[in-house]
Structure 1
Amino acid sequence: MGTQFLTDEKGNKTAVLLPIKKYNKMIEQLEDLHDIKLYDEAKRDDDGTSISIDEAFKIIEEKRKAVK
């Protein structure tokens, strides 16, 4: 089964009906594209003050130990 269209009384396409596997794949690809967009925005807006994830975890662990 391929993509099907729902039409109004004049034959104008008003909606799309597609298999769930095709829909899920499309959503997954859109989410991937969104992640790429966010990454590109973060790189563009980087002012040089960012730190690595490893450094961030190190700081968090040091703060946790200091609280205990």
Structure 2
Amino acid sequence: MKSLPKEQFIVNPRGEKTGVVLDLESYRQLLEDFHDLRIIAERKSNPKFSSAQFLARLKKHGRL
């Protein structure tokens, strides 16, 4: 059996793409990627620290 493409385009009578149908796995991956990007954007203003500072914090809190 031949598998379907991961996306199928909906076109208007002039042949212009107006929509897309995704398989469920592709849709879920897009949602996950969007969620990850949103978290990155939200955390962009958080204070930054070096890996040495990070390791020191882990040791201080008994996690390393």
Q: Which residue of 1 aligns with 2:46?
A: 43
> 1:17 is matched by which residue type in structure 2?
V
State which of 2, 5, 10 in structure 2 corresponds to 1:6. Answer: 10
Unaligned regions of 5+ residues in structure 1, if any?
Answer: 45-68
Calculate the TM-score normalised by the size of structure 2: 0.61
CA RMSD after TM alignment: 1.3
Aligned residue-pair number? 43
Q: Which residue of 1 aligns with 2:20?
A: 16
4+ residue runs over 6 A deviation: none
Q: Which residue of 2 aligns with 1:27?
A: 31
> For the residues of structure 2 that align with 1:14 and 1:6, how far apart are their CA atoms?
6
Offset at residue 10 of structure 1 (A): 0.3
Offset at residue 29 of structure 1 (A): 0.7
> Which protein has the larger Cα radius of gyration, Structure 1 or Structure 2?
1
Higher helix proportion (structure 1 or 2): 1
Unaligned regions of 5+ residues in structure 2, if any?
Answer: 48-64
- Fraction of identical pairs, as percent: 28
> For the residues of structure 2 that align with 1:35 and 1:18, how far apart are their CA atoms?
24
